[in-house]
Amino acid sequence: MRLVIARCSVVYEGRLDASLPEALRLIMRKADGCVAIHADGGAYKPLNWMNAPNSVAELDDRWVITNPKGETLTIHLHEVISDFEHELGKDPGLTKDGVEAHLQELLADNPEEIELGLQLIRREYPTSIGPVDLLCKDSAGRTVAIEIKRRGEIDGVEQLTRYLDRLALDSSLGDLRGIFVAQVIKPQAKTLAESRGIICREIDYDLLRGKRSEQPTLF
């Protein structure tokens, strides 16, 4: 992890050109290649960022980050206040709470509760940035990445977006799409998901548990 505090201005050129005027900000570069620019406010969300994979050209007065789509993020460094780097090591990953873990288990057994025709490929499908909750095939044969939360917020949509970016690098998965699942999904999260072509599904956990208990067992 590299953390740079600098007076900088930023220009993004890609699907939608955008810029940030000169100000004091935190630039974060992670070991996986992600670069994010933060202000001292706005909670966890960066002002701008570039997901991995990308290439970073560090010049004396600027960084130029380019991704495989040809989009560029140029960070002009007017004054560097601090430049710190430290190896964090391998992270054990997020431990889900009981409800969220059980919801994932129930939906893995009943993927058609999310969408008719879904068939499970694997639960906790691994990527280089963490496991996708469920990887499925839909009725049209497309691969579907599913992220499951107890409460659906913007950070969950961002997480699924990162997973989709990583999965898109594997051509063997073919056509790919995402579904964001939660008991309740906030309107802002729905808007963000829809803008990225991600479908949202709200699931009644109690109803799903009831269906599970009604299934016949051997004992």
Provide, rounded to the nearest whole percent, the portion of the chain with pLDDT above 90: 70
- Say yes or no to pLDDT of 2 above 70: yes
- Distance from chain centroid for Cα 137: 20
Residue listed under structure tokens 């280089």: 128
Per-residue pLDDT reduced to its tens digit, 116-173: 999 999 999 998 888 999 999 999 999 999 999 989 999 999 999 999 999 999 999 9
Q: Which residue has the higher pLDDT, 214 or 151?
A: 151
pLDDT of 98 reads 61
State residue 35's pLDDT score: 94
Helices 98-109 and 205-214, axial angle in degrees (round to 10): 50
List the domains of the chain with CATH numbers: 2-85 (2.70.180.20), 98-213 (3.40.1350.10)
- How many residues can be counted in the chain? 219
pLDDT for 78-120, tens place per residue? 999 999 999 888 777 665 556 788 889 999 999 999 999 999 9
pLDDT confidence of residue 212: 54
Res. 40 pLDDT band, cuts 50 70 90? confident
- DSSP code at position 210: H
31 pLDDT higher than 90: no
Tell whether pTM > 0.85: no
Burial annotation 179-217 (CB, 10 A radius, 16+ → b, else e): bbbbbebeeebbebbeeeebbbbebebeebeeeeeeeee
- The label of the residue with tokens 């706005």 reads 42
- Average pLDDT along the chain: 89
Examine the pLDDT at 21 and tell me if it is beyond 60.
yes
Query: Binning pLDDT at 50, 70 and 90, where does residue 219 land?
Result: very low
Number of H helices, E strands in the chain: 4, 12
